[in-house]
Amino acid sequence: MENKFKIRAVIYARVSTKEQADGKESVSDQIRVCKKTIADHGWDLVGEPYQDVESGHLIEERLGFQRMMQDASDYKFDLVVVKDFDRFARNKSYATKARDDLKKMFIQTYSVATPVEPRDPKLYDPTDDDLGIMVEGFSDTMNEIERNKIRRRMTMGKVAVAKSGKIPNNVPYGYKIIRWIDEKNKVQRKVEVDEEKSIIVRQIFDEYTKGKGALSIAFSLTEKGVKPPRGKYWRAQAIKYILQNETYTGKVLWGWRHADYAKNKQRTLRDHKGIIEKGIHTAIIPEEIFKLAQKEKKIRGNSQKGRAKMSRGLLTGIAKCIRCGSGVTYLTRHHNRKNKNPKWNNTTTFEYLCGGYKYTGICQRRIMSATRLEEFVLNQIRNLVNNPTARERLIFDRNITITDNLEIDYKLAAKHLSDIDRRRERVKDAYEAGIDSLEVYAANIKRLDEEENKYHVVTDEYKTKIQMINERRKELEKFTKSLEDFNILWDNANLEEKKHFLRAIIKEIRAGNGKIEIDFRF
């Protein structure tokens, strides 16, 4: 097998997991096979083998590969020997790119698994290697198929784990993984609450539901020296991820996200569903608190972002121009009245202006004095505090009513539904006893099914309205509780807390031309 021409060969070996590093696909095994091949062919082995252990799937992250490419550009060798072409990458496109980059530098590649004899380096032309291209393409295709099989097996395994109530992937901040080897010499895994970190998670939910923003919480934790999940500083994005992670309520979520953003976007557009199961791990956050945080996030929307959040105006973010619908901006004006008359005092006024004025030019600039608008809103809230009838009218939808007829129909339907199963048994007994024919039996069963569906419609409507009324009643109780001792709470609250309270009960305010309209959330 010895070649008549001289070839300077190097070895590249790679494993991507600890299991491979210690198994039959280990780096040492790959190097041994490649060295034997080089010796059998009479090639010159130059330098130490290039190797990557537990490398990332991105070629840019492989230090051994990058050193090999640098040496290739310096023309230190002619041929790269690998045990199999998938050592460059299991991904077909990555493997092809790796070899193409080498070919541009007139470096040949040789796979022990699918060998194609190299050519004389002095005569080698990458464009004149049809057989090599065919073999490489076939090898890449087979490796891609094998890669997809492995991915499917892993996915199926993780789906089974998720359905059993176990977290199949890494645990979120606040939990820790305990591993041990059982009597069968198998690694076992258990998820437990990290007591120290779980306190931080509860603190994040508590502060957020009380009105503090994600960025403010991040700054506060960083200042206290609390170590973040990753990096040196807490980020708003990390806080938001914690707030929306349902794992903290004791549930297991799997298959809702994909690491690849483009694929994740397409899955979302096509309404791909993942798995949500009750987990066997301990919940850190009660489900009621989690739902409250999601509701809080929805309420805030864009009303507590950017300038609206930083503004000193109480109503920025929820107040709109009644003329054009644009948001408002808050302006503080200082009037140097002493310049005109030494006997006069300097004054400061506060105003809400139309945010769309400078963009459209078709609206008026001034909306209203901030003092007048804010006092009007607070007076409306105080009226609700002192008027239980107004509170109830605000909360309850007049369309949600249960008439006497609906209640009578519900009781009748419920009675019939409780009797349906017994009537089915009688019909079945008559058929089996030979009293009724198959046609009569089928007709009777169909009639009973239609009756059952009809009665279910009535009972479902009644139950739905009962549920809606109960939910509204809970909202009324919550709303009433939030209004109790309003004046005391308002006087002792800071600006951020006041803004949070207003956004919790007010959906939108429209002001301008001397008019003020308020839409409450309830």
Q: What is the pLDDT along the chain (522 residues), one digit of tens a residue?
A: 455 689 999 999 988 765 454 555 688 999 999 999 999 999 999 999 999 876 545 666 788 889 999 999 999 999 999 998 878 876 667 777 888 888 889 999 898 988 888 988 888 888 777 676 776 666 666 666 766 776 677 777 777 888 888 888 889 999 999 988 888 888 788 999 999 999 999 999 998 888 788 888 999 999 999 999 988 899 988 999 999 999 999 999 887 666 666 766 777 777 777 788 899 999 999 998 998 888 888 776 654 554 555 567 888 888 999 998 888 989 888 888 788 888 888 888 899 999 888 777 778 889 999 999 999 998 888 777 666 666 555 555 545 555 556 677 778 888 888 888 888 889 888 888 888 888 888 898 888 888 888 888 878 877 777 777 677 667 656 666 666 656 666 777 788 778 877 887 788 999 999 999 988 876
Q: What residues have CB less than 8 Å from 22, skipping those under 6 apart?
A: none
Please tell me the predicted confidence (pLDDT) of residue 484.
62
Nearest to 256 by CA among 239, 278, 276, 238: 276
**Do 293 and 208 meet the contact criterion of CB atoms below 8 Å apart?**
yes
Please tell me the predicted confidence (pLDDT) of residue 306.
47
**Do 229 and 173 meet the contact criterion of CB atoms below 8 Å apart?**
yes
State the distance between the two ends of the chain, measured CA to CA, in whole angstroms. 85
- Residue 169 φ/ψ, nearest 5 degrees: -120, -160
**Do 494 and 366 meet the contact criterion of CB atoms below 8 Å apart?**
no
What is the per-residue DSSP string for 310-321?
H-S-TTTTTEEE
Q: What residues have CB less than 8 Å from 321, skipping those under 6 apart?
A: 327, 328, 354, 355, 356, 363, 367, 510, 511, 512
- Reply yes or no on whether 369 is catalytic: no
Strands 506-512 and 319-321: parallel
CA pair distance 31, 53, nearest whole angstrom: 13
Nearest to 330 by CA among 348, 309, 313: 313
Q: Which two tokens stand for residue 306?
A: 């950017």
Q: Exactly one of 16, 55, 139, 198 is catalytic; name it.
A: 16
CA pair distance 460, 480, nearest whole angstrom: 30
Instruction: Find where tokens 């994740």 sit.
Output: 264
Instruction: For the beta carbon of residue 300, count every other beta carbon within 10 angstroms.
Output: 21
Q: Can you give 427-460 as a three-state secondary structure string? A: HHHHHHCCCCCHHHHHHHHHHHHHHHHHHHHHHH
CA pair distance 349, 171, nearest whole angstrom: 53
Please tell me the predicted confidence (pLDDT) of residue 251.
92
**Between the CA of residue 401 and those of 293, 466, 469, what are the distances in Å?**
30, 9, 8
Please tell me the predicted confidence (pLDDT) of residue 384.
73
- Residue 356 φ/ψ, nearest 5 degrees: -90, -5
Please tell me the predicted confidence (pLDDT) of residue 344.
84
* Ranges of each domain in the chain: 8-150, 175-300
Please state which architecture CATH assigns to domain 8-150.
3-Layer(aba) Sandwich (3.40)
CATH class of 175-300: alpha beta
**Between the CA of residue 414 and those of 401, 426, 457, 460, what are the distances in Å?**
19, 19, 11, 10
Strand partners, 366: 353
Burial class (CB in 10 A: 0-12, 13-18, 19+), 152: exposed
Please tell me the predicted confidence (pLDDT) of residue 226.
93
Enter the pTM of the model. 0.48
